[in-house]
Every structure is written in C-alpha cells, then in structure tokens.
Amino acid sequence: TGHTGLDYGFVNTASTKSEITFIDGDKGILRYRGYPIEQIANSCSYLEVAWLLIYGELPSATELAEFDEKIRRHTLLHEDLKHFFSALPHTAHPMSVLSSAVAALSTYYEGETDVNNPEHVELNMVRMLAKLPVIAAYAHKKSVGQAFLYPDNSLSFVDNFLKLNFGVHSEPYEINPVMSRALELLLILHEDHEQNASTSTVRLVGSTGANQFASISAGIQALSGPLHGGANEAVLTMLGQIRDSGQSVQRFVERVKNKEDGVKLMGFGHRVYKNYDPRAKLVKAAADEVLTELGVTDPLLDLAKELEEIALADDYFQERRLYPNVDFYTGVIYKAMGFPTRMFTVLFAIGRLPGWLAQWRELNLDPQTKIGRPQQLYTGSREREFRRN
C-alpha cells in the first residue's frame, strides 16, 4: 500500500538533500560547507560562519561588514513586546520564554512574512539573528529580577549579548575578551549539525509554508528536550547530583550500566557519531583554558573528566560506541561565565539559529520541496460495527 518501511527515529531514512553540513560519524568529522570545523572554529566570527552556512561561501570583508551592520540596526525589540515578559512568571524556563517570544515576534511583522518574497525572507533572517540574543538575555534578566538593558550597537554581536546578560543598568560594563572569545567559539561549534531533531522540526514546519518565526519557534521547543539540546543543562544537573550524593563516580557509572531508574550518562552518545564528537574535543580543550584564564576552579570539571575517563574505559560504553558529545563540557564553561544552568540550552539555541535559518532557506529555495508527511503502520482495530456499550 505504498509503505516504504517502518523506521522509528528515522535511523535509515533521509528526509532531504542538503549542501550545508557534512558529518562522518564513524571518523568523527564535521564540516560546514566543506570546511573542517577545527579550521572554522578558531578563525571565524559567529556572523561570518552564519553567512557561510546561509549563502554557501565565506563572505568578503565588505559583505561581512554590511551584514554585521544590518544586524546591529535590527537589535531593538518593539517596546510592546517587552510587556510579554512581564506576563510570565519569573520562574518560567528561559527556553519556553524564548520559543514563545519568537512566535510572538511574528505578530509585529504581519504582511512581511511572505515565504515567496525573497526580501521578506532575507529581512526576517536578519531580524531573527539580531533579536534572538536580546530575547534570550531578557529571559535571563527576568529570571533574576533585573532590569532589561537596551542593546549597545557599538559592540560586536557577542559582546552585546554578554553586556545584555551581565551588564547592570547605569553601571559601565567591562568587556572580558577571554569570555567573548570563548562564547564565540561555543556558538560557532553549535551553528549547524545537519538533520538533527530541531532542524528537522524547522524543516517540517517550514515545508507547510509556515514562516521563519513559526518554524524556528518550533525548532526551539524541539531543542529543549534532554535528549537533544536540553542535555547541556541535564549534564550540569547530573554532575551536581553525583557530587551531592556522596557516591563515587564508579557507582554512578554502574547505575547507568544497570539502567537503574532509567538513568543515563547525559552528554554521552550520539545518533551519528560513533567516535569522539569533534565538537566535544574542542570544547574539552577550551574548558581547561577558559577556566584557567577566568581564574575559576570548579570541582565539577574534575568530576566530568573522571566520569569521562571511567566511561571510556568501560565495556558498556565501548561496545555501544558511546563518547562524550558537544553537551558534555559546555555547561562547565557557561557556568564559569556566570550563566545560570537554565540558560544553557538557550545558548545552544542562539548558536544553532544560523543553521536553522540556512536549512529553512535551502528548503524554501529547493524546487523539490514538498510538504513533509510521514507514513505510519496502522496497528489499531480492524473495521468494527458502531455500537455503544
């Protein structure tokens, strides 16, 4: 009856062709538009990589300067949208705030969200790149009860974001170049990762003809789950629990292996990588460096390293080819920067935004795009005669 086969979790099914990101999971290779992540990570800015992902080539100096300038011009949120934050409890999870605010953002641009109008599509990419960090910082400020700051458009993308998060109203904000560079690196490492769950969500929503705001709001929700982006928050929670339990790391690993209470080693394992996640390698190196440079010592970093060492030497993890993924060490760095744990996945979302936008645009420009509509294998009742009991 036309079924192509049952494939739980889409382990064997390609949903699209794409020219954006290449992964070889067995070898631990990740490339953006052909460029190895190791080369990109240490020589580009977040916006330069965003341009590369979206348009396929590295921008010229002029293109990058114009792009940067355009984004700076669009950072302000409509004043009315700020009331949106007041309507939510201060305990609201920042991921829920982020996703809802992105959905709400589209209401300010009705009449300008025609997916068949290239000018609208370009403008909304700029709007989203400019405003997502501001919304994210407001979600943070709201959660700690501090006043929102206006964006400072004299600053770079990353510095502006840090100031919006850590600056205090009417006090000068001092830029810390170590923190800026570290955050830029982490954001770059998250920019795209081909057809993961949130990107596939963005594409599925986009395939219906829904606009970028709707698609990305849905993508943020998909990212929030602990098996996906929410893992960076879950890792820190797990490390804290191990520390507070007074139990040994070895004992925790035993619990994972015995699948006691369904406990998993968060930040380990990946659908595609069956080798060390190349992003995790870069993050692990950065964690040591950044904590040293920021003058922070965190016993959770030592705990994470011990956990990694024990897991990698263990048959359970070796047989299943489970290695640390990108989420394993990022939280320790975000924590050292001063971000609350509940902001970690929001940082992932800001990182991933260019990838979502690039993938949405690729879908939008592809003449072969059709509405996404998976099949099912029906296992319910056969036809029955209607009769009430």
Q: Which residues bind ligand CMC (CB under 6 A)?
A: 9, 196, 227-229, 231, 256, 264-271, 320, 322, 325-327
Q: How far is the CB of 378 from ligand CMC (least distance, A)?
A: 24
Q: How far is the CB of 204 from ligand CMC (least distance, A)?
A: 17
Q: For 324, which DSSP code?
A: B
CB closest to ligand CMC, residue no:
269
Inter-residue contact 306 to 352 (CB < 8 Å): no
Q: How far is the CB of 201 from ligand CMC (least distance, A)?
A: 12
Whose Cβ is closer to ligand CMC: residue 158's or residue 266's?
Answer: 266
- Our separate counts of H helices and E strands in the chain read 17, 3
| Residues paired with 29 in a beta bridge | 24
Whose Cβ is closer to ligand CMC: residue 139's or residue 256's?
Answer: 256
Inter-residue contact 304 to 332 (CB < 8 Å): yes
Q: Measured between alpha carbons, how far is 27 from 75 in angstroms, rounded to an integer? A: 40
Q: For 172, which DSSP code?
A: -
Q: How far is the CB of 133 from ligand CMC (least distance, A)?
A: 19
Provide the strand spans (E) within the chain. Answer: 21-24, 29-32, 35-36
Q: How far is the CB of 122 from ligand CMC (least distance, A)?
A: 28
Whose Cβ is closer to ligand CMC: residue 8's or residue 378's?
Answer: 8
Whose Cβ is closer to ligand CMC: residue 206's or residue 229's?
Answer: 229
Neighbour-count burial of 264, counting CB atoms closer than 10 A to its CB (0-12 exposed, 13-18 middle, 19+ buried): middle
Inter-residue contact 335 to 236 (CB < 8 Å): yes
Whose Cβ is closer to ligand CMC: residue 155's or residue 266's?
Answer: 266
> Annotated active-site positions, please?
270, 327
Neighbour-count burial of 260, counting CB atoms closer than 10 A to its CB (0-12 exposed, 13-18 middle, 19+ buried): exposed
Whose Cβ is closer to ligand CMC: residue 54's or residue 266's?
Answer: 266
Q: Provide the token pair at 285.
A: 């190196």
Q: Provide the token pair at 269.
A: 């394992």
Q: Measured between alpha carbons, how far is 198 from 223 in angstroms, rounded to an integer? A: 5
Instruction: Tell me how far the alpha carbon of residue 31 is from its chain's centroid.
Output: 17
Q: How far is the CB of 318 from ligand CMC (least distance, A)?
A: 11
Q: Measured between alpha carbons, how far is 172 from 14 in angstroms, rounded to an integer? A: 51
